[in-house]
Amino acid sequence: MNRLLALLLVVGVTYLITSRVPPPGFAARGTGLALGFTLIAAALAGEIFGRLRLPRITGYLLFGMLCGPYLGEIINSAMARELQFVNGVAIALIAFVAGTEFNLQRLRPRLRAMLEMGAVIILLMWIGLWAVYWAAWPWLPLVPEADALQRLALSALLSTVTVTFSPTVTIAVIAESRARGPLAELVLAVVILGDLMLIVLFTLSSEAVRWSLGEAPLAGAGIVSGLAWEIFGSLAFGALVGSIFALYLRGVGREVTVVLLGVCALLSQLGSALHFEPLLAALAAGLVVENIAPPQGDALRDAVERGALPVLVIFFAAAGANLHLAALAEIGLLAIGVSALRLAFIRLGTHLGCRAAGLDSPQARMVWMGLVSQAGVTLGLAILVASEFPGWGEQLATLTVALIALHEMVGPILFRSALARAGEIGKMDEHVPAPRARDGAGEAEAPAQA
């Protein structure tokens, strides 16, 4: 009751301010109001969803959508854009947390099967969707006049954008439901593998589109070196930053929350400036911290808990506020059709992937439920396409945004329900591995607070 009253007060005061007073001269003046309002109200909305056994991040997203510029207008479009300033840090933080969840010693026996399954799912989805798009091209509202070669390249590009998953949503659902187990690990492995493979596929297919449209010659060596820089450079950069952070944790260990957020800002900002993939770099940093120099005690765990919650709340509420519902209304039927097709290929890929990798557990068969979400990566690719190929690229972006609007709402709910069915929710707190003997610490870490 008290929380509801607080929520009403916060919503009421923000609504009165934004509805009675014209927005200030420049957008940055509204940032604080949007940020404070979002932090409190979205956190409370997420908690209501948690009580209903739904993912909290769906609560943050829905809150953003309801209060955002397309519906409630408590957060106007300028404020919604300003809220996205946390995106870089949030993505890096989420990937860092994912890296620390990958204990290679624990995963080694199943790693090969997991990667095999992931490769089958991704390739089958990509090839299947490519074939369907190629066949259905004349009816798609993109470039109906494209010749056969152009259709091949364009279908490959569209297929790449459609296949993408959302590592951020996947990791966020796992983190907020404190899930640990075969399903969570399998979905995480497939999603991250998908991210790696799709970087390569996107680069290749967009080059192919440019070449087929006569906009640029084929640049083989350049593509390979660019990809190598992006993938291996990201991993090396992340590993370096992770090593320094691990040293800090062991040697100093103070103000860990602030330093962790600083590390994430460094990974995202410097990484982007150097053309690295922030997600991969942060993942590598987390992997190094967890597997090579694991911290002693709970300092990092506490820091992640303290730092992650506000960042996740703002990140997902901002994502909800910036969801272009107009795109869904404009191209909704086509988006639903493409979404159904994608879902069918995800299920088929999971089925065949399980068989190919020899994984026949109930958890492995539920992996498809964790692969539905799409968010930032997909949107990023769509924006790239729209900026590089004006005209049809913008139409493709509209379709992609509509797909994201669908999958961002449905995906987390499906994944959380799969985790619940697999009995993995809350296991992160129950089973915490003891620190390795070489650390010289004998006792297990204390379970973190939920």
Partner 1 sequence: MPRPFEKSREIGGPDPIDVGVSDRRLPLRALVPRLLRRRAALGLAPAIAPAVIFVPLGVLMGPAFLGLLSPDVLVHLDAVVSVGLAALGVFVGMALKLQSARDRALLGAGCVESSLTIAFVTGAVWYLLTKWGMPLTLPVPLVALTLGICAAASSAGLVEASSDVRHRTATRIADLDDALPILVGGAVVALVASTDAPRVSDALVWTGRTCLVGLTIAVAGWLLFERAHSDAERGVFIIGTLVLLGGSAAYLSASPLLSGMTAGLFWTWTPGRAEQMVRESLRKFQHPLIVLLLLVAGASCRPTVAAVWLFAPLVLFRLAGKLAGGWVAARLLEEVTPGDLGTYLVAPGLLGIAFALNVDQWAGARGGTDILTATVAATLAGEALAMLLVPTKGDAPTEATRTEATPA
How many Cα atoms within 13 Å fall on the side-chain side of residue 302? 12
CB closer to partner 1 out of 74 and 163: 74
Q: Which residue has the tokens 């279908």?
A: 155
Q: Which of 15, 19, 36, 58 binds partner 1 (CB under 8 A)?
A: 36
Q: Is 354 in the site for partner 1 (CB under 8 A)?
A: no
Stretch that binds partner 1, among 21-29, 206-214, 374-382, 396-404 (CB under 8 A): 21-29
Enumerate the H helices of 137-277 as residue ranges: 148-163, 167-176, 182-212, 220-228, 234-251, 256-273
Please check whether residue 279 is in contact with residue 377, taking contact to mean a CB–CB distance below 8 angstroms.
yes
Shortest Å distance, C-beta 8 to partner 1: 9
Shortest Å distance, C-beta 297 to partner 1: 16
CB closer to partner 1 out of 231 and 309: 309
What CA–CA distance (Å, rounded) separates 279 from 129? 25
x/- mask, partner 1, residues 307-346, rule CB under 8 A, reads -xxx--x---------------------------------
Report the amino acid identity of residue 332: G
Stretch that binds partner 1, among 17-25, 353-361, 396-404, 416-424 (CB under 8 A): 17-25
Q: Is 77 in the site for partner 1 (CB under 8 A)?
A: no
Shortest Å distance, C-beta 106 to partner 1: 26
Stretch that binds partner 1, among 253-261, 266-274, 283-291, 434-442 (CB under 8 A): 253-261
Q: Is 18 in the site for partner 1 (CB under 8 A)?
A: yes
Q: How many residues bind partner 1 (CB under 8 A)?
A: 43
Q: Is 10 in the site for partner 1 (CB under 8 A)?
A: yes
Q: Which two tokens stand for residue 374?
A: 């799409």
Q: Which residue has the tokens 């399998």?
A: 186
User: Among 93, 253, 68, which Cα is nearest to 171's?
Assistant: 93
Stretch that binds partner 1, among 10-18, 270-278, 335-343, 345-353 (CB under 8 A): 10-18
Q: Which helix (H) or strand (E) holds 442?
A: none
* Residues 65/66/69/72 CA torsion (nearest 10 deg): 180
Please check whether residue 27 is in contact with residue 78, taking contact to mean a CB–CB distance below 8 angstroms.
yes
Q: Which of 149, 218, 228, 258 binds partner 1 (CB under 8 A)?
A: 258
CB closer to partner 1 out of 19 and 148: 19
User: Among 229, 204, 338, which Cα is nearest to 280's?
Assistant: 229
Q: Which two tokens stand for residue 83?
A: 């809220």
C-alpha triplet 347, 90, 398: angle, nearest 5°: 55
Q: Is 37 in the site for partner 1 (CB under 8 A)?
A: yes
Eight-state DSSP code of residue 294: P
x/- mask, partner 1, residues 421-450, rule CB under 8 A, reads ----------------------------xx
Q: Is 297 in the site for partner 1 (CB under 8 A)?
A: no
CB closer to partner 1 out of 285 and 308: 308
Q: Which of 19, 26, 145, 217 binds partner 1 (CB under 8 A)?
A: 26
What CA–CA distance (Å, rounded) separates 397 from 237? 31
Q: Is 43 in the site for partner 1 (CB under 8 A)?
A: yes
CB atoms within 10 A of CB 52: 10
Q: Is 33 in the site for partner 1 (CB under 8 A)?
A: yes
CB closer to partner 1 out of 30 and 128: 30
**Residue positions counted in the chain:** 450
User: Among 256, 266, 263, which Cα is nearest to 300's?
Assistant: 256
What CA–CA distance (Å, rounded) separates 353 from 365? 9
What CA–CA distance (Å, rounded) separates 36 from 175? 23
Please check whether residue 83 is in contact with residue 33, taking contact to mean a CB–CB distance below 8 angstroms.
no
x/- mask, partner 1, residues 200-239, rule CB under 8 A, reads ----------------------------------------
CA distances from 328 to 336, 408, 409, 446 (A): 9, 12, 13, 46
User: Among 18, 6, 5, 58, which Cα is nearest to 417's?
Assistant: 58
Q: Is 106 in the site for partner 1 (CB under 8 A)?
A: no
Shortest Å distance, C-beta 305 to partner 1: 5
Where in 163-192 is the site for partner 1 (CB under 8 A)?
none
Residues lying near partner 1 in the complex (CB under 8 A):
2-3, 5-6, 9-10, 12-14, 17-18, 21, 23-24, 26, 28-40, 43, 47, 82, 85, 255, 257-258, 305-306, 308-310, 313, 449-450
